[in-house]
Amino acid sequence: MLATHFKEDFAVIVLALCLGNSLSFATTEPVFETPSSSNDLYALEYKDYVRTLREKIEDIAYKKYDGTDDGTVSLDFEVGSDGNLIQYKANDESTDASQRIVDIGLDSLEEATPFVPFPEAMAKRYSKLMFTIVLDFQFKRKRIK
C-alpha cells in the first residue's frame, strides 16, 4: 500500500535513483512514498518515468565526458507535471568531483529538459516531484555512441 502525505495540494518525492532509496530534503516532516505493488498503474508509470529521466540525462552527460578525470555528481532537481525543470542543484554533500565534472552534470540536466509530462496516474497525484540522480564518471564506464 502507498503511504501518502499531502501538503499544500502536492507531495514531494525524492528518489535516489542510483541507489534505489527514497529520501527527503524537506525541512519539515519528511515525505516518503515508494510504489509497493508492481500491479499498481501508478507504480509502473512512476518506474518508467524515472528510468526515462535517468536515461535522458545520462546519455547527454556521458557523451560530454572525455575521461580526463573521475568523479560522482549527485543532482537534486524538481520537475513539474508538465515536464519542466523547476529548480536544481548539485548536492555538495553527495558529490565528489571536480568543478568541471559537476558542470557536465548540471549542463546535461539543463539540456535534457524539458522532460516528457508526467503520465496520467502520476499527474493526478502530483503537480511536481523532486528527484535525485547520481552520475558516476569513470573512464572505464564511459559510454561510446
**Residue 71, by phi and psi: left (phi above 0), alpha (psi -120 to 50) or beta?**
left
Examine residue 80 and state whether it is found in any structural domain, yes or no.
Answer: yes
pLDDT tens digits along 33-64: 445 555 566 678 888 999 999 999 999 999 99
State residue 97 phi and psi, 5-degree precision. Answer: -160, 160
Examine residue 2 and state whether it is found in any structural domain, yes or no.
Answer: no
> What's the whole-number mean pLDDT along residues 112-140?
90
Number of domains in the chain: 1
pLDDT at 54: 94
Q: How many helices (H) and strands (E) does the chain have?
A: 3, 5
- State the Cα–Cα distance between residues 74 and 33, nearest whole angstrom: 20
Examine residue 86 and state whether it is found in any structural domain, yes or no.
Answer: yes
pLDDT mean across residues, the chain? 76
Range name among 6-10, 35-39, 118-122, 123-127 with the lowest pLDDT average: 6-10
Structural domain span for residue 82: 14-141
pLDDT at 6: 31
**Alpha-carbon distance values, 25 to 14, 99, 125 (Å):** 8, 23, 20
Examine residue 72 and state whether it is found in any structural domain, yes or no.
Answer: yes
| Amino acid in the structure at residue 100 | R
Examine residue 5 and state whether it is found in any structural domain, yes or no.
Answer: no
Q: What is the CATH number of the domain that holds 125?
A: 3.30.1150.10
pLDDT at 41: 65
